[in-house]
């Protein structure tokens, strides 16, 4: 799945929501995502917290999400883009929750917001946390909107409504691609999900998210080689690891086209390596010009 770059998408559009003429409770409404229009069920999915109706929740979608690229994207490309944004929003929400006034001694670090106490999830769902934690509320609203959108996109494609635990839909890989990984004793699905997580983290520009998908020690080559051994060292090296060139290399890479060998996946002629580890594939090395 190729990411739509700022040049292709033209990040200046606004979300287009076409409202139905009859009451929301009974009539679907439509949203335009990357130039394609999708029907949305106005009923809240079962098992979700009480909060705004889907039509209201969708107002929190990123403002540029309606703008189409310079070509007609496939439904799979649209789904992939929204899943990537959802992964970013979910993990940024988890990080913000851990740092918020709701968290006591970091007890919610890395925890999905839905697993928090009713005080937290209820306050966010009904918007009551806005005055106390505006940033947390904004992230929650964005994640809720994107998660609802993913459900509707998957429904429209006759896929199971719930996104797989990995956060990304199972890919349709060719036998040749699968064989290239299995010949190296790699699980092609594990490699794919690792690739998607690293790509989403670079796209976010958030060093904390990149830390989630980094395997230590991380090798950085820039005239001389240095090793990043901790999250704190990675955060300090943000400008190097998150350089515009490296982000562009990752953004323009597709799983189907990456070179794979015994070391892992090579992006951009060795600018970025995604390597296997105990917890799956993760960022393992970068080379800075």
Which CATH code is given to the segment(s) 175-287? 3.10.450
pLDDT digits (tens, 9 = 90+) for 9-51: 333 333 334 333 334 455 889 999 999 999 888 876 655 556 6
pLDDT digits (tens, 9 = 90+) for 202-250: 999 999 999 999 999 999 998 889 999 999 999 999 999 999 999 999 9
Using CB atoms within 10 Å of the CB of residue 287, give its burial: 0 to 12 exposed, 13 to 18 middle, 19+ buried. Answer: middle
DSSP 105-129: TTTTTT--GGGS-HHHHHHHHTTTT
pLDDT digits (tens, 9 = 90+) for 82-117: 999 999 999 999 898 888 877 654 455 555 555 555
**Spatial separation of the C-alpha atoms in residues 134 and 138, rounded to whole Å:** 6
Kindly give, in sequence order, each residue whose CB lies less than 8 Å from that of residue 135, ignoring residues fewer than 6 positions away: 96
How confident is residue 259, by pLDDT bands cut at 50, 70 and 90?
very high
Least confident of 47-56, 81-90, 274-283: 47-56
Q: Where are the domains of the chain?
A: 6-156, 175-287
Largest Cα span, the chain: 65
């Amino acid at each position: 799945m190729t990411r739509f770059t700022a040049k292709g998408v033209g990040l200046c559009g606004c979300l287009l929501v076409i409202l139905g003429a009859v009451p929301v409770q009974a009539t679907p409404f439509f949203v335009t995502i990357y130039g394609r229009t999708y029907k949305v069920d106005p009923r809240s999915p079962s098992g979700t917290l009480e909060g705004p109706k889907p039509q209201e929740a969708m107002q929190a979608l990123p403002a540029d999400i309606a703008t189409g690229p310079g070509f007609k994207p496939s439904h799979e490309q649209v789904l992939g883009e929204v899943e990537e944004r959802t992964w970013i929003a979910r993990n940024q929400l988890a990080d913000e929750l851990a740092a918020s006034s709701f968290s006591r001694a970091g007890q919610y670090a890395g925890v999905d917001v839905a697993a928090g106490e009713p005080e937290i999830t209820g306050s966010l769902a009904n918007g009551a946390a806005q005055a106390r934690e505006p940033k947390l509320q904004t992230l929650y609203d964005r994640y809720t909107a994107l998660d609802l959108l993913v459900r509707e996109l998957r429904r429209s494609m006759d896929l199971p409504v719930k996104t797989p635990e990995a956060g990304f839909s199972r890919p349709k890989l060719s036998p040749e691609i699968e064989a290239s990984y299995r010949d190296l004793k790699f699980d092609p699905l594990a490699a794919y999900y690792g690739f998607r997580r690293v790509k989403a983290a670079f796209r976010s520009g958030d060093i904390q998210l990149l830390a989630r998908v980094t395997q230590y020690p991380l090798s950085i080559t820039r005239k001389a080689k240095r090793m990043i051994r901790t999250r704190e060292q990675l955060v300090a090296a943000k400008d190097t690891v998150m350089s515009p060139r490296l982000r562009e290399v990752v953004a323009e890479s597709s799983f189907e086209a990456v070179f794979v060998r015994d070391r892992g996946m090579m992006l951009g002629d060795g600018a970025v390596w995604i390597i296997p580890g105990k917890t799956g594939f993760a960022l393992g090395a970068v080379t800075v010009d």
